[in-house]
Amino acid sequence: QVQLQQWGAGLLKPSETLSLTCAVYGGSFSGYYWSWIRQPPGKGLEWIGEINHSGSTNYNPSLKSRVTISVDTSKNQFSLKLSSVTAADTAVYYCARKGWLFSSRYYYYMDVWGKGTTVTVSS
Amino acid sequence: DIQLTQSPSFLSASVGDRVTITCRASQGISSYLAWYQQKPGKAPKLLIYAASTLQSGVPSRFSGSGSGTEFTLTISSLQPEDFATYYCQQLNSYSYTFGQGTKLEIK
């Protein structure tokens, strides 16, 4: 059974860089894309971006200028960096696996999630 | 970006009720839609993908339907553990947007 374990700094000052890592245990790493998703307090979910084992990435255009997602296949880990953070970046950050089903075409979904990391940006 | 609008945003219902949540997309997304359940302090849980396919292990009282721009999530007989917030997500195109959520509360 696949499990995601995530960690990273929980308190940042404005203008600093957010850095989180997610480790994948118990399943295939190379067959999937791996995502980051965030949720501000009391609000909805926002997809940040994704990466696969070969380092191919896709980002949310609204965050693209500040986001870098990287992968370490030797450790089955992927990481998120978000630069120049502000209070608006305060959120719970989740890592997740993008599962897929092929039935004449590919259907995707987020089927495995980490427990979330609370990140607060405050001076 | 494709916008998803869920209705209602809040829903009050009783155990045993049948409830339906609607998700409307700003443009056609075929069947590239998933539904999630989220409880306070927890990560979302996948319920439905490809608009109508039940994720393994999810009770059969949950069902999804729709294609194009209008989708529904139905819970046929509410159980106490179903009171939560529900989100739809489109996976037709980046940036994989979510609906704003529907909070299902006990009446």
What is the overall mean pLDDT for chain A? 97
Say how far apart CA A108 and CA B90 lie, in whole Å. 9
Q: What is the mean pLDDT of residues A108-115?
A: 98
Say how far apart CA B82 and CA B18 lie, in whole Å. 12
Contact B46 A103 (CB under 8 A): no
Q: Are A66 and A83 in contact (CB under 8 A)?
A: yes
The per-residue pLDDT for range B4-61, each reduced to its tens digit, is 999 999 999 999 999 999 999 999 999 999 999 999 999 999 999 999 999 999 999 9
Q: Are A105 and B50 in contact (CB under 8 A)?
A: no
pLDDT for A27 = 87
Tell me the nearest-neighbour CA distance from B36 into chain A, angstroms: 9
B29 contacts: CB under 8 Å, gap ≥ 6: B2, B68, B69, B90, B92, B93
A28 contacts: CB under 8 Å, gap ≥ 6: none
* CB count in 10 Å sphere of residue A47: 25
The per-residue pLDDT for range A5-59, each reduced to its tens digit, is 999 999 999 999 999 999 999 989 999 999 999 999 999 999 999 999 999 999 9
pLDDT for A26 = 92
Alpha-carbon separation of residue A19 from A70, A121, B30, B37, B102 (angstroms): 11, 12, 36, 27, 31
Q: Are A29 and A53 in contact (CB under 8 A)?
A: yes
Q: Report how many Cβ contacts below 8 Å link chain A to chain B.
A: 69
Which chain B residues are Cβ-neighbours of A99 within 8 angstroms?
Answer: 46, 49
Q: What three-state secondary structure class fits A87?
A: helix
The per-residue pLDDT for range A44-74, each reduced to its tens digit, is 999 999 999 999 999 999 999 999 999 999 9
Which stretch of DSSP H or E encloses residue B89? strand B85-90
pLDDT for B73 = 98
Residue of chain A nearest B86, judged by CA positions: A44
Say how far apart CA A83 and CA B29 lie, in whole Å. 32
DSSP annotation of A78 reads: E
The per-residue pLDDT for range B55-72, each reduced to its tens digit, is 999 999 999 999 999 999
Q: What is the mean pLDDT of residues B101-106?
A: 96
Is the minimum CB–CB distance between B31 and chain A shorter than 8 Å?
yes
Give the best residue of B91, B92, B100, B102 to mutate against chain A (max A CB count within 10 A): B91
The per-residue pLDDT for range A89-103, each reduced to its tens digit, is 999 999 999 999 998
Residue of chain A nearest B94, judged by CA positions: A60
